[in-house]
Chains A and B, each alone.
Chain A
Amino acid sequence: MARNKYDVDEDLSHEFDAASVLRMLRYLRPHGRRVLAAVALMIAASLVSLLGPYAIKIAIDDCIPRGDIRGLAVIAAVLIAAQAVGAVCLWIRIKVMNDIGQGVVHSIRSDIFRRLQELPFSYFDSRPHGKILIRVVNYVNSLSDLLSNGIINLITDLFSLVFIIVFMFVIDARLTLVCLAGLPVLAVAVLALKKRQRETWQDLSRKQSNLNAYLHEALSGVKVTQSLARAAENERIFASLGDKWRSSWMRAVGTIFLVWPTIEVISVLGVCLVYLCGVSWLKEGMTVGVLVAFVGYVWRFWSPISTIGNFYTSLVQAAAYLERIFETIDEPASISDAPGSVALPPIRGHVEFRDVRFSYEPGRRTLDGVSFSAEPGSRIAIVGPTGAGKTTIVNLLSRFYAPDSGAILVDGADIQDVTVKSLRSQMGVMLQDSFLFSGTILDNIRYGRLDAADEEVVEAAKAVHADAFISSLKEGYGTAVNERGIRLSMGQRQLISFARALLADPAILILDEATSSVDTETERAIQKGLDRLLRGRTSFVIAHRLSTIRDADRILFIDKGRILEAGTHEELSELRGAYYGLYASMHTFD
């Protein structure tokens, strides 16, 4: 998959369609009863509010001509009671609709987040993180109104539309038919606007995503920006992304705002038609009261229709976000448990690669037939030039990726046939990328094993010789760190993530340049303790430093995706091949 960058619009794999609408509605299902209750309440409320014009008709036609003040008072009392009922309905409705809307947003967000936890690295690698973030947070938020107020208003307005039409029929059938004549005209007009609305809103969602992506990267990479004094150029790019957002926005709202006037113009024409017909039918026995009341309903008739029009408009807007959200939820988790896969029993530590081939991108083979085996408890060092495929070997062993062909066996079981969780939870991987979460140092080390006691955390820190520097900080283990923070040096962060991996107490430990930024002295001290730490664990160590490699039980020299040489330090030195050359160069500084 081609990687995406901040200034490139993302492709869309699946357009929003009728099935997507149904899928969206499914999120309302758990709230079904309350949705019905809210709808019932709103129908009751709108029925009650319909009493208004009818009461006025009675007042004008009956009470006032008869001078019946008592009758007026009765009507007033009924109307006040109706208003009170309406207010209570509204109170319940607001609460219920908010519960539902927020509940739906909550579950959509849960779904998308859970899916993110299952997606492979390649998903995160192939697009800027800001574009993922905006989907989970901002896009989902923009749905809350549609899914609560929007849908409930739609349903109630459909009902009240029916009631209004019934009322109108009761008052005067002919005038009602005249009034309904406006609807087909409106439908044609709204559909004509639809295509443009869709396109403009889709474009806007992409532009928002692009700007978010750039902002996120600019913040994450602010150190680099400052170190190369490039702020001005970034500001120019940010401004141009902002301009694109703005013009896309203006195009989008320019279309949206056309919907309302369209409805209004058509409705006023409808009303005029009713007046014309009504007046010309006065001679045929129509009363003034009927006509006045009817006109009152005609305005009400158009109000739900404009709500329906609004709902349609927000649906079109939401579609642009929903299709992105569903796209993420539907993203296949390429690493998932095969059907019938079983949990891997406690690992003894035998690891075997059988003719493993792998490429990150088609046509560029990263591993080209790698075979080796490691006995339980042995220490394997992987060396070779940068980009040779060292990290790939451990990535495959941790099942971050699946091999194109060949097999990887742990204790004789193909790791593709066991559950990912049972495999990874028994492995400790210390990645090159020593990411720290915001929180204290204690939290960060404990991330390796959540139920570890404070003493165990300190123990792990001591094992990697991180305790000394941590204790020297004013707040010690309680010192707050974060993702980007640079209070800690790279070497110190490596030590923390090393401690984190150790604390997990894994049967297989993978150290990918765990100490590349750590000074030789500390590294040596760690090495000394490592024998004890690694006892009983199979370990894979990727390193460029001789001191880290030399003691391994077996050294694999990787070049261009193949194992060139394998053996102990002594054996490989004897061989006088690639490893020997590397080793010699470590000695030959001139």
Chain B
Amino acid sequence: MHPWLRAHLKKHVVAYCLAVSMTLVVSAINLVNPLLAGVLVDRVIIAGELSLLWKILGIMVLAVVVKSTIRYSYQMICERVSQDVLRSCRQELFVKLQRMDFGYFDRTKTGDIMAHMTGDLDAVRHFIAWVVYQIAENLIMFVAAIAALFFVDWRLTLAMLAVAPFIGALTFALARKVKPTFAAVRAQFSRLNSTVQENIAGNRVVRALTREDYETDKFQAENGAYRDRNVESAAVWARYIPPIEFFSGVLPVILILVGGAMIIRGEMTLGGLVTFNGLVWAINQPMRMAGWLVNDVQRYAAAADRLDKLFALQSALPGGRKGLRPASIEGRVEFRNVSFSYGDENVLEGVDFVAEPGQTIGILGPTGSGKSSIGRLMCRYYDATSGEILLDGVDVRDYDLDFLRSKVGVAMQDVFLFSDTIEGNIAFGCPDAPMREIVRAAELANAHEFVGELDQGYDTIIGERGVGLSGGQRQRVALARLLLASPPVMILDDTTSSVDIETEERIQESLKSLRGTRTMFIIAHRVSSLMHADRILVIKDGRVAERGTHEELRALGGYYEEVYRHQTGSGARAAARPEGTTSSRPGCEE
């Protein structure tokens, strides 16, 4: 058994053993009725002891009632245990996944994870809920029936067991051959799941580029392959199960032939034969079931093998070397000669800077220059390849990871909102925040106004990824979300790129009100977003190319100045500038 499953079953071991041992009673009762039937024939019908009839029938009915009750109980116990195990396995995996490093998510498709969490776990659930007690029931029935028949006539019993080796061999071969086919089915299920998941998630792009036919073809290929893997798997067990059934079907033949001969030779009574006849199914049935149960076990094993990988997941980011959780964080951030790569070329190389508590640092630079990576290293989505990142003088790797992330917050470029109310989305980081603080955060992010215009205001449910809101509105909700959490260090990664200039100005005003209380990093392409920062870093090719205040950098005449001139229209196109605006641009002289 897989170690993770053993761990999750441990708590339920008593209940589970109880349930499985209850099958013993049921199996015993299953044997009672045929025995009674034999007695009925021998003593009531043939010998004419009519007084026994009522007694025997009474026992029969009672036996079924008792059996049904017990069977219902252990079925429910098994279901309960299986649900508990399912729930705790799922929960363990969920906890793990929530804390996996980003590198893992870069490599793994959502659809694959979903397939593990649904289909594979369900195969495990089915195993615990059904397969195990079926095996127990059949095994016990088989053993008990053999024992009972030995008691009636051991020679006939041995004769009947002659088929057992054949069935054993076939079952063993089936187990070996069928497992790879189930593994193939599970793997294809995963691919199918991923294809559908991406199609749904990317539905806008599919429509925009009219790729419906292409997507349908892609899907049909996976859909067809899934069908084929299933059919192939069936072809394997279709080869083994009929011969198994054949050999188990030979049992009654042995019974008639050998038993009949024995009666004729006076070595057995007719009642004995009837008893055998009544019990032959108790041997026959488990043998027939052997093939199907082996199938089910292998189906489980194939799924569980896949889950091994998920349970063995280890975040590439250890949870914090010393697990520090100091009472307060001032917000001093220092990068010491930090280099970093995602596995290709270095994204950052020898980055050095210090942000004092309460300072606002602007970061500007070309696309892909490594700006966002600075933020990602600060809250440890990745660890630096070399160098040190210090928060309040302590290496970020020494803090407890959750603690660190609750103190260093990012509003990301790629805004992700949840299909929840706007209130729920803003309160994502502090679910217990009172309404007035949510409104206050929305006001700071300049979202309050448009939220107020919605029919249901803060109770408006927005779709997954925030559909129903414009890009700029989404960014403002995401900003409010961060502002409500209000960690001592905040990173705003291009959070206002889709917001219009006027709104952005108002957002800048609110951010100014936070100055001095929070260390803030503003990553942006618009000079207007970061020109008021205490210090501005220009990142080019993973290095700090320029640093200083707005005025210092302008005076430097480098990249910053160039960008500034382009954006204010004071570059090549200055001629097209409307008259009258020049005067309102102090400090824009050329």
Contact = CB atoms under 8 A, between A and B. Distances in A.
Given A261-B72, A519-B366, A483 B201 contact: yes
B253 A102 contact: no
B379 interface: yes
Given A2-B461, A225-B98, A520-B525, 17 more contacts: A3-B461, A69-B264, A75-B256, A98-B230, A116-B203, A232-B402, A261-B71, A288-B45, A292-B274, A295-B37, A400-B208, A424-B207, A474-B345, A484-B106, A495-B367, A517-B497, A574-B578
Contacts of B86: 246
Interface stretch (A128-136, A455-463, A531-539): A128-136
B15 interface: no
Interface stretch (B74-82, B149-157, B297-305): B74-82
Interface in B179-225: 189, 192-194, 196-212, 214-216, 219-220, 223-224
Contacts of A583: 578, 581
B438 interface: no
Interface string A471-503: 011110000001111111111100101001100
B94 A257 contact: no
Contacts of B464: 125, 128-129, 217, 220
Interface in B34-92: 37, 40-41, 44-46, 50, 53, 57, 60-61, 64-65, 67-69, 71-72, 75-76, 79-80, 83-84, 86-87, 90-91
B278 to A, nearest CB: 9
Interface in B452-493: 453-455, 461-465, 467-473, 476, 478, 481-482, 485
B372 interface: yes
Contacts of A383: 500
Interface stretch (A87-95, A163-171, A183-191): A87-95
Nearest to B484: A228
B83 A229 contact: no
8 contacts: A4-B419, A94-B241, A231-B402, A486-B106, A486-B381, A500-B209, A513-B497, A521-B562
Contact of A279 (B45, B60, B239): B45
Nearest to B115: A137
A34 interface: no
B141 to A, nearest CB: 16
A238 interface: yes
Given A87-B246, A102-B230, A117-B216, A391 B471 contact: yes
B109 A482 contact: yes
A242 B87 contact: yes
Interface residues of B, number: 189
B12 interface: no
Contacts of A424: 207-210
Nearest to B254: A76
Most buried by A among B106, B494, B579: B106
Interface stretch (B1-9, B348-356, B564-572): B564-572
A129 B563 contact: no
Given A106-B227, A485-B105, A224 B260 contact: no
Contact of B501 (A271, A428, A484, A586): A586
B207 A90 contact: no
B252 A438 contact: no
Contacts of A225: 98
Contact of A570 (B105, B207, B576): B576
Interface string A566-590: 0001100110100011111111111
Given A253-B79, A429-B209, A387 B97 contact: no
Interface string B84-117: 1011001100110111101001100111011001
Nearest to B526: A545
A46 to B, nearest CB: 13
Interface in B245-285: 245-246, 249-250, 252-253, 256-257, 260-261, 263-264, 270, 273-274, 277
B256 A76 contact: yes
Contacts of B40: 275
B409 interface: yes
B31 interface: no
B45 A282 contact: yes
Interface in A427-456: 428-433, 435, 437-438, 447-448, 450
Given A125-B463, A216-B110, A246-B83, A137 B192 contact: yes
Q: Which 4 A-B pairs have the closest CB atoms?
A: A386-B472, A573-B578, A491-B367, A261-B68
Contact of B368 (A279, A431, A469, A513): A469
B342 interface: yes
B314 interface: no
A221 B345 contact: no
A385 B500 contact: yes
B419 A79 contact: no
B590 interface: no
B91 A242 contact: yes
Given A133-B200, A219-B110, A234 B98 contact: yes
B406 interface: yes
A229 to B, nearest CB: 4
The prevalent SS among residues of B at the interface is helix
A462 B379 CA distance: 34
B83 A250 contact: yes
A31 B75 CA distance: 36
B122 to A, nearest CB: 8
A303 B189 CA distance: 34
B499 interface: yes
B585 interface: yes
Contact of A386 (B79, B99, B411, B503): B503
B416 interface: yes
A370 interface: no
A116 B199 contact: yes
A121 B204 contact: yes
A587 B366 CA distance: 21
A492 B372 CA distance: 12
Interface string A217-243: 111111111111111111100110011
Contact of B252 (A52, A246, A495): A52
B109 A438 contact: yes
Contacts of A238: 90-91, 94
A550 B69 CA distance: 81
A194 interface: no
B186 to A, nearest CB: 12
A271 to B, nearest CB: 7
Contacts of B216: 113-114, 117
Contacts of A495: 367
Contact of A582 (B223, B371, B406, B500): B500
A64 B260 contact: yes
A227 B264 contact: no
Interface in A165-224: 212-213, 215-224
Interface in A40-96: 52, 55-56, 59-60, 63-64, 67, 69, 72-73, 75-76, 79-80, 83-84, 86-88, 90-91, 94-95
Interface in B479-534: 481-482, 485, 494, 497-503, 505, 525-528, 531
A94 B581 contact: no
A447 B211 contact: yes
Contacts of A304: none
Contacts of B113: 219
A145 B421 CA distance: 39
Given A64-B264, A265-B68, A547 B567 contact: yes
Contacts of B250: 80, 83
Nearest to B277: A56
Contacts of A224: 412, 416, 418, 428, 478, 481
Most A CB atoms within 10 A — which of B198, B455, B500?
A: B500
Given A90-B241, A133-B197, A513 B230 contact: no
Contact of A215 (B76, B94, B494): B94
